Amino acid sequence: MRELGGAARAGLACIAGLAQAASLAWPGSGEPLWWLQILSLAVLASLLRSATRSARAAALTGLFATAWLCGTFWWLFTSLHTYGGLPAPLAVLAVLGLALFLASYYAIAGALYVLLAPASRLGAALLFAGLWLLAELARNTLWTGFPWGAGGYAHVDGPLAALARLVGVYGVGFVAALLAMLLANLRAADLRRPSAWLLAGAIAIGLAAASGLRHCALGGCNRPAIAEHAPLSLALLQGNIPQDEKFQVGSGVPTALAWYARQLAAATAALVVAPETALPLLPAQLPPGYLEAIVRRYAQGDQAALIGIPLGDMQAGYTNSVLGFAPAQDAPYRYDKHHLVPFGEFIPPLFRWFTEMMDIPLGDFARGPLGQPAFLWHGERIAPNICYEDLFGDEIAAQFRAPERAPTVLLNLSNIGWFGTGLAIDQHLQISRMRTLEFERPMVRATNTGATAVIDYRGQVTHLLPRATRGVLLAQVQGRSGAVTPFAWWAARWRLEPLWLLGAICLLAGLLARRRARNQHLKPLA
């Protein structure tokens, strides 16, 4: 691509970035396209191969990442402008500013690649993949993390999905980046080189082995180590309360309270689940006897309920929580959200002026601890997570340290009505599917506007309620217990440190290769 001018390269980087975004959830269908994720990243890799200066590489990578991230979470505009009342130009600038900030991680990675890329094409591919991995991990970790739209999520239906149980979503992204640079380096002459075919064969064998291990774990080889439970009947409630009315005492609040009360009273399933902030008021603000009626309803019989509700007071602090009700309880089960949303559930220092410009009920919430106990019901250990907590697989992994206490069913309770009814719903569904691939445990989703669904331990959606509709999804889920996946085992102990180490090793190898090449260049002639 050396013959392309600067403007053409910049335009190509932006187009490739938008294709990267589309690969996560194709507009219209919402389907992930694994091949498009690798192909679009290969375009960036080709641009970096032809870049001669680190500043140009940083600019091209930054353009790619900015277009990719804007194309991924453009729906933030809806929450900021449509529901938050922020003027449209400021909302556009806010989304663009966030994308630019997060893109800086990738821009640094691009610059380092051009500075350190070795002559070896395999070495160059490993360096690129390692730097890309470090950028993805930085986006997951720094400033509380905002990893929405990581490239690995495009592979929930692709051949790399088999790797998720071994290395998680970021390990999948590392392999995808490696393949992208190898593809960018491919030449017609390579088809005649035995070494190229050996490398392709090694990659194919590796993927086949990973697929075989996954098939064995899911299909019966490890059946003595994996216990499949009897189906548990579910009633998943999707209130579809309009977001601009949800917290309004004259409209959305009475509608929500009345509808959820009726469904909780009439449900016949063994487990009934209402989504995040289904009850949009603190217990003290609810109508007299409202919560007590729910407690009485589930104090007898053979049914239980999990309900999203805010808890707390001015003195103790407020939490975004789940309450669980079941027979023979001394006290309701409680889960408090651990990973809070910046600007939504806590206000970063120096940014209160920004949140005060929006008409959104924001505040500083208290955090629940990591690794909270599961809800025990019908022999299942049901582990809730709220909203975008399911992005952080390493935090969910904290509950898998002891296999005998590990969750048998994962449960996501969400309200992403703030972001409309478009691709944000599809993207979030793929995120939940990736968690099921990593842990080989089913995921149940109860949401306000979608996607209310059941995902089995294979990562397949078995039940799905149409989005933006008010209704009840009657379904079943089959929990699993016993042996945990390799990813669950090591992430429970070391979080993402092994992947940080892998990225650091690739970077160090690049530095050493660069130093060796420089020394050889400076070596005096005999």
Q: Which residue of the set 14, 136, 380, 387 is catalytic?
A: 387
Decide if 404 is catalytic: no
Q: Which residue of the set 136, 276, 380, 395 is catalytic?
A: 276
Is 280 part of a structural domain of the chain? yes
Is 210 part of a structural domain of the chain? no
CA distance 381 to 324: 13
Is 215 part of a structural domain of the chain? no
Kindly state whether residues 264 and 375 are assigned to the same domain.
Answer: yes
Kindly state whether residues 264 and 145 are assigned to the same domain.
Answer: no
Is 216 part of a structural domain of the chain? no
Helix orientation angle between 164-184 and 497-522, rounded to the nearest 10 degrees: 30
Instruction: Show the domain range for 429.
Output: 226-489
Is 205 part of a structural domain of the chain? no
Kindly state whether residues 50 and 129 are assigned to the same domain.
Answer: yes
Kindly state whether residues 26 and 125 are assigned to the same domain.
Answer: yes
pLDDT single digits (tens) 439-473:
999 999 999 998 999 999 999 999 999 999 999 99
Kindly state whether residues 241 and 140 are assigned to the same domain.
Answer: no
CATH number of the domain bearing residue 344: 3.60.110.10
pLDDT single digits (tens) 67-85:
999 999 998 888 888 877 8
Amino acid identity, position 312: G
- Find, among 386, 408, 371, the residue nearest to 491 by Cα: 371
pLDDT single digits (tens) 189-238:
777 778 777 877 888 888 888 888 887 888 767 667 788 899 999 999 99
| pLDDT over 50 at 525, yes or no | no
- Find, among 482, 432, 486, 436, the residue nearest to 456 by Cα: 436
Q: Which residue of the set 337, 389, 440, 506 is catalytic?
A: 337
Using a cut of 0.85, tell me whether the model's pTM lies above it.
yes
CA distance 438 to 295: 35
Decide if 337 is catalytic: yes
H helices of 52-87, in order, are: 54-72, 76-77
- Give the chain's domain count: 2
**Local confidence band at 513 (pLDDT 50, 70, 90 cut-offs):** confident
| pLDDT over 50 at 386, yes or no | yes
127-165 b/e with 16+ CB inside 10 Å = b? bbbbbbbbbbbbbbeeeebbbbbbbbbbbbebebbbbbb
Is 346 part of a structural domain of the chain? yes
Kindly state whether residues 261 and 369 are assigned to the same domain.
Answer: yes
Is 220 part of a structural domain of the chain? no
Kindly state whether residues 419 and 507 are assigned to the same domain.
Answer: no
Kindly state whether residues 290 and 431 are assigned to the same domain.
Answer: yes
Kindly state whether residues 401 and 516 are assigned to the same domain.
Answer: no
Kindly state whether residues 235 and 173 are assigned to the same domain.
Answer: no
**Local confidence band at 361 (pLDDT 50, 70, 90 cut-offs):** low
CA distance 440 to 286: 39
Kindly state whether residues 180 and 281 are assigned to the same domain.
Answer: no
**CB under 8 A, 24+ apart: contacts of 185-190:** 185/45, 185/49, 185/121, 185/124, 185/125
**CB under 8 A, 24+ apart: contacts of 455-463:** 457/218, 458/218, 459/156, 459/161, 459/433, 459/434, 461/429, 461/433
Is 513 part of a structural domain of the chain? yes
pLDDT single digits (tens) 159-182:
999 999 999 999 999 999 999 999
